[in-house]
């Protein structure tokens, strides 16, 4: 009996350790590697940087490294406007796209959740369907639509709405279109999941108590779909800040986005240490909003934190 229990608990321990082990091997260690590279200097070598710590010198090597720890790469990021400008414009574009996604995605999710069960399933399949085509191909397709002699301009010219082709491709508008299009399922699905679970009698109760349908929406539906809003926002905002493919293909050469900057440092300039420093800063930039969102969510769902009644 005792041995059986012993084996059972060691198996249980394995199950508990497993996710942490996974995170350590595939998240924490790579992060540390990147952090290490970001502290080193460029070298014409393979890989193209000089290691910070001279392991052959033992403890002395570690101490020497600590004494002359170089934060030069990070200092450069602050000094050269290019980097913080591209970080800033990434955050700005991602935030704008997230707002647009909420505006476009919320009504879609809301409408889908209100459909009869059979239609709901079909709509969910339709939302997921684009994933069956390569992401890259779908973004390329947008070039065909948005370019001066593309589908959109041809159609608009034919109908006579515009006299000259619109300049959309290689602008921020094109990036926003691409971002909203590509990330829409990531916004709609979490919203749909919470809205589908929403108890319809709560809306009836709000209306019964004198709230117009609009007021009932803002006072009941929106607050109760908050977890979906948070999840959708995080799922979209975070990868959009570091997005590379969409700005690269639709945004043209002048686009400042941190993902592109990172790419050109790595592969254009072969400056791994600087590129790693950019990656570290990007990570820190993204952890910020996650912490804020989690804090907001915790505060909202905290027991006894009443009083947020809305609708007044």
Partner 1 sequence: MATRNEHVAVGAVRRNFAPWSEPGAEPLIRFDGVTKRYGAVTAVDALSLSIYEREFFCLLGPSGCGKTTLMRLLAGFETPDEGRVLLAGVDQAAIPPHLRPVNMMFQSYALFPHMSVEGNIAFGLRQEGLPRDEIRARVDDMLRLVQLSGLAKRRPDQLSGGQRQRVALARALAKRPKVLLLDEPLAALDKKLREATQFELMDIQMSLGTTFLVVTHDQEEAMAMADRIAVMGHGRIAQLDPPNVIYEQPASRYVAQFIGDVNLLEGEVTGRDGDLCTVSCPAVGSALLVASTEPSAPGQAVAVAIRPEKMRLGRGLPPPGTANAIVGEVWDIGYLGDWTTYVIRLADGHLLRASQANVARFVEQPLTWEETVHAVFAPDAAVLLSR
Residue 312 contacts partner 1 per CB under 8 A: yes
Residue 120 contacts partner 1 per CB under 8 A: no
The residue within the footprint of partner 1, chosen from 32, 99, 205, 291 (CB under 8 A), is 205
Residue 58 contacts partner 1 per CB under 8 A: no
Shortest Å distance, C-beta 224 to partner 1 = 6
Stretch binding partner 1 (CB under 8 A), from 62-70, 116-124, 206-214, 268-276: 206-214
Hey, CA dihedral for 35, 258, 294, 197, is it positive or negative? negative
**Distances, alpha carbon 152 to alpha carbons 144, 149, 167, 168, 218, in Å:** 9, 8, 11, 10, 36
Residue 311 contacts partner 1 per CB under 8 A: yes
Residue 304 contacts partner 1 per CB under 8 A: yes
What does the alpha-carbon distance between residue 201 and residue 113 come to, in Å, rounded to a whole number?
14
Shortest Å distance, C-beta 41 to partner 1 = 54
Residue 118 contacts partner 1 per CB under 8 A: no
**Rounded to a whole number, what is the distance in angstroms from the first to the last CA of the chain?**
63
The residue within the footprint of partner 1, chosen from 75, 197, 294, 300 (CB under 8 A), is 300
Residue 71 contacts partner 1 per CB under 8 A: no
List the structure tokens of 162: 């515009």
List the structure tokens of 210: 């004198």
The four Cα atoms 306, 224, 185, 152 give a dihedral, to 10 degrees, of: -100
Chain residues 210-239 in contact with partner 1, contact rule CB under 8 A: 210-213, 215-216, 219-220, 223-224
Size of the site for partner 1 (CB under 8 A): 29
Using the CB atoms, write b or e for 93-109: b if 16+ within 10 Å: bbebbbebbbeebbebb
Stretch binding partner 1 (CB under 8 A), from 68-76, 77-85, 272-280, 303-311: 303-311
CB 42 within 8 A of CB 272: yes
Which residues are at the interface with partner 1 (CB under 8 A)?
199, 201-202, 204-213, 215-216, 219-220, 223-224, 300, 303-304, 306-312
């Amino acid at each position: 009996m005792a041995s059986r229990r012993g084996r059972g608990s060691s198996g249980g321990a394995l199950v508990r350790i497993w996710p942490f082990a996974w995170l350590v091997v595939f998240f924490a260690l790579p992060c540390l590697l990147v952090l290490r590279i970001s502290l080193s200097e460029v070298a014409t070598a393979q890989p193209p940087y000089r290691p910070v710590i001279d392991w052959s010198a033992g403890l002395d090597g570690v101490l020497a490294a600590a004494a002359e720890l170089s934060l030069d790469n990070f200092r450069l990021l602050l000094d050269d406007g290019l980097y913080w400008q591209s970080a800033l414009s990434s955050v700005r574009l991602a935030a704008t796209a997230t707002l647009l996604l909420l505006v476009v995605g919320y009504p879609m999710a809301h409408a889908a959740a209100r459909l009869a069960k059979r239609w709901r399933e079909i709509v969910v399949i339709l939302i997921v369907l684009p994933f069956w085509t390569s992401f890259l191909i779908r973004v390329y397709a947008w070039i065909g639509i948005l370019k001066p002699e593309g589908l959109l301009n041809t159609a608009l010219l034919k109908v006579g709405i515009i006299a000259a082709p619109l300049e959309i491709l290689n602008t921020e508008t094109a990036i926003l279109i691409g971002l909203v299009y590509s990330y829409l399922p990531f916004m709609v699905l979490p919203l749909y999941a919470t809205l589908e679970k929403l108890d319809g009698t709560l809306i009836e109760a709000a209306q019964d108590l004198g709230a117009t349908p609009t007021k009932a929406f803002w006072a009941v539906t929106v607050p109760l779909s908050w977890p979906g809003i948070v999840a959708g926002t995080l799922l979209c905002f975070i990868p959009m800040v570091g997005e590379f493919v969409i700005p690269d293909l639709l945004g043209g050469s002048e686009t400042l986005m941190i993902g592109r900057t990172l790419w050109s440092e790595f592969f254009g300039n072969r400056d791994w240490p600087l590129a790693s420093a950019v990656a570290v800063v990007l990570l820190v930039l993204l952890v910020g909003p996650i912490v804020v969102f989690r804090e907001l969510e915790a505060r909202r769902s905290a027991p006894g934190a009443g009083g947020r009644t809305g609708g007044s």
